[in-house]
Amino acid sequence: MLSVVPTPLTVRAPAKVNLHLGVGDVRPDGFHELVTVFQALSLHDDVTLTPADALTLHVTGEGVRDVPTDPTNLAARAVVALAERYGRDPNMRIDIAKGIPVAGGMAGGSADAAAALLGAATLWGLDIERDELDEVAASLGSDVPFSLHGHTALGTGRGERLIPALARGEFHWTLALAREGLSTPAVYRELDRLREAGDPPRAGSPDDLLAAVASGDPHRLAPLLVNDLQAAALSLQPGLRRTLRAGMEAGALAGIVSGSGPTCAFLCASADDAVDVGTELAGAGVCRTVRVASGPVPGATVVP
């Protein structure tokens, strides 16, 4: 039976950037063992759930032509998974307003899944512990638990096992969105190929980076940003080198490919600097569009 809550319910979920992404070897299940530090950023998707007679999906915003509106969409799968586990009727209308770049390495799909999970659990009045929601989240995708939790966190396993990390203050980011997306599995496969062909350097321990995040000093954090997937993303989209260079020339403290890319994330000294870097990047023609954002921000949250 559907919820008695008659009004639509909106949940907002954030994008993420990986401040540290250490990729281990591929496991027997096909996933890679990760040591990563996530930070949630102030770019959001809004997911609105309305009780209905059928499960339908409607997506608006930039890049929507690449978002599936069939049952393979992660938000729809989230609702179905939760309904099956708790014996509910999954029928509802799901409206997704995309603010997170699609196929950009910023966990947009995971944000939608996290928002749909929290939304459905709220609509149905499910009395469940956060661990149970985390378990369903992890079954949907490696980044979905982080999208639920937000803030800054150390992720291990395939990225789904989280320990909250201390962060002081606010970090300011400029994001350069690429013209074409990248497929996450393809980027991991490319890293495996690069590693078979040679031995690209691997990220070490994130301890120094975690201390820098706790200090709140972006100058201290900047040289420690690292992403093992960056070499693979650059191999598949060589033009991203120009984007990274342009961001540094524009005054960013550091630039890094976000997750599996192709979004490039630039850490800046202040909110004003982030706007300046964005303006220069936009003018340099090295990306499709730019966004400024700050972090950390909370994970999926019901919009009052």
Name the site residues for ligand C5P (rule: CB under 6 A): 31-32, 34, 141-143, 158-159, 184-185, 188
155 labelled ligand-binding: no
> Buried b vs exposed e over 208-221: b needs ≥16 C-beta within 10 Å?
ebbebbbeeebebb
Tell me whether residue 173 or residue 188 sits nearer to ligand C5P (CB atom): 188
105 labelled ligand-binding: yes
Q: How far is the CB of 86 from ligand C5P (least distance, A)?
A: 23
Q: Which of 16, 45, 134, 228 is catalytic?
A: 16
Residue 15 CA to chain centroid, in angstroms? Answer: 4
Q: How far is the CB of 254 from ligand C5P (least distance, A)?
A: 23
Q: Which of 45, 112, 143, 273 is catalytic?
A: 143
Residue 70 DSSP class: S
Q: Is 98 a catalytic residue?
A: no
Q: Where are the beta strands (DSSP E) in 27-170?
A: 32-51, 56-61, 92-98, 152-156, 161-164
Structural contact between residues 251 and 284, judged by C-beta atoms closer than 8 angstroms: no
Tell me whether residue 233 or residue 254 sits nearer to ligand C5P (CB atom): 233
107 labelled ligand-binding: yes
101 labelled ligand-binding: yes
The torsion region of residue 235 among left (phi > 0), alpha (psi -120 to 50) and beta comes to alpha
Q: Is 7 exposed, middle or buried (0-12, 13-18, 19+ CB in 10 A)?
A: exposed
Q: How far is the CB of 273 from ligand C5P (least distance, A)?
A: 32
Q: Is 16 a catalytic residue?
A: yes
Structural contact between residues 172 and 218, judged by C-beta atoms closer than 8 angstroms: yes
136 labelled ligand-binding: no
Pairing outcome for strands 32-51 and 9-26? antiparallel
Q: How far is the CB of 32 from ligand C5P (least distance, A)?
A: 4
Tell me whether residue 9 or residue 106 sits nearer to ligand C5P (CB atom): 106
Tell me whether residue 190 or residue 273 sits nearer to ligand C5P (CB atom): 190
Task: Catalogue the active-site residues.
Answer: 16, 143
Q: Which residues are annotated as a binding site for ATP?
A: 101-111
Q: Which residues are annotated as a binding site?
A: 101-111
